[in-house]
Amino acid sequence: MRLSGKVCIITGAASGIGKAASLLFSKEGATVIACDLSKENLELLVKENPGPGIIDYYILNVTDREAISKMVNDVVEKYGKIDVLVNNAGITRDALLLRMKEEDWDAVINVNLKGVFNMTQAVAPIMLKQGKGSIINTSSIVGVFGNIGQTNYSATKAGVIGMTKTWAKELSRKGAQIRVNAVAPGFIKTPMTEKVSERILTALNEKIPLKRMGEPEEVANLYLFLASDESSYITGQVIGIDGGLVI
């Protein structure tokens, strides 16, 4: 098993890509600390656990720094370490620039950008003490290329890339084997993209060399590689997973 004995925190773990990753990580022997907003969805996730790993859950909002600190302390007390942090939680509040409400700007910045900062600032000291760890940040192709109607979202996903490269440099300064990478998915079939109209999806599929959207399990496979020791010499990278959309 590829994650045997590893303690892995995943945010946004109860839906879409995060859920696929939680189930896959458990299959690969990890202890998964699944963090999300809804108790109901987290309980469903635990019920679906294929094992042999454990899925332990926390109802956690990534904007709540106090709750994050409590969760991290609790995890270290219970499991003794944190090997992997997957900053996967994210939201959209799309609107064209001229119509975007300040509250929609703030909401997306708070979850997608500050949430990643909050989680990493709480977990990094543990990884520095261990001298080892892997942090995976979920960016997006729109963080690199922009997208109409996504001023707030693309700003956060570009910001995640900046933080990824900064942390790859900072957290390895004293020889620690802490790797920080970003994943940049294209269009993946999850509740997040369910809102996109059929007409736009058909046009989009035409533009994707592989002629289809991605499955959450395909992104989970990339998370798994970056979480495992198989990627031990990869850090500071932004890895696209988009069916070739950007080429």
Instruction: Choose which of 29, 54, 63, 172 interacts with ligand NAD (CB under 6 A).
Output: 63
Question: Is 223 one of the catalytic residues?
Answer: no
Smallest distance, Å, CB 129 to ligand NAD? 25
Task: Pick between residue 15 and residue 164 the one whose CB is nearest to ligand NAD.
Answer: 15
Q: Is 155 annotated as a binding residue?
A: yes
Task: For residue 37, state whether it binds ligand NAD (rule: CB under 6 A).
Answer: yes
Q: What does residue 172 show for φ and ψ, rounded to 5 degrees? A: -105, 10
Output the CA angle 226-230-235, nearest 5 degrees. 50
In whole angstroms, what separates CA 61 from the centre of its chain?
14
Provide CB contacts within 8 A for 33, sequence distance 6+.
Answer: 7, 8, 9, 10, 56, 57, 58, 71, 75, 79
Per CB under 6 A, 126 contacts ligand NAD: no
Alpha helix stretches (DSSP H) within 62-150: 65-79, 102-108, 115-130, 141-145
Does residue 237 belong to the site contacting ligand NAD (CB under 6 A)? no
Applying CB under 6 A, what is the total number of residues that bind ligand NAD? 28
DSSP 15-55: SHHHHHHHHHHHHTT-EEEEEES-HHHHHHHHHH--SSSEE
Q: What is the residue whose two structure tokens read 């990890």?
A: 30
Least distance in Å: CB of 3 to ligand NAD?
19
User: Quick count: other Cβ atoms within 10 Å of Cβ 186?
Assistant: 21
Q: Sign (positive/negative) of CA torsion 51, 140, 75, 173? A: positive
Our finding on whether 188 is near ligand NAD (CB under 6 A) is yes
* Annotated binding residue 154: yes
6 is in an annotated binding site: no
- The CB-of-131 to ligand NAD minimum distance in angstroms stands at 28
Tell me which stretch binds ligand NAD (CB under 6 A): 10-18, 93-101, 197-205, 229-237.
Answer: 10-18
The correct pick among 7, 9, 10, 14 for binding ligand NAD (CB under 6 A) is: 14
**In the range 78-97, which residues lie near ligand NAD by CB under 6 A?**
88-91
CB 136 within 8 A of CB 85: yes
Cβ of residue 88: shortest distance to ligand NAD, in angstroms?
A: 5
Establish if 18 lies at the interface with ligand NAD (CB under 6 A). Answer: yes
**CA distances (Å), 9 to each of 25, 98, 144, 224, in order?**
10, 37, 26, 12
Residue set of the binding site = 61-62, 88, 153-157, 188
Instruction: Catalog residues that contact ligand NAD under the rule CB under 6 A.
Output: 11-12, 14-18, 36-37, 60-63, 88-91, 111, 115, 138, 140, 185, 187-188, 190-193
Catalytic residues: 153
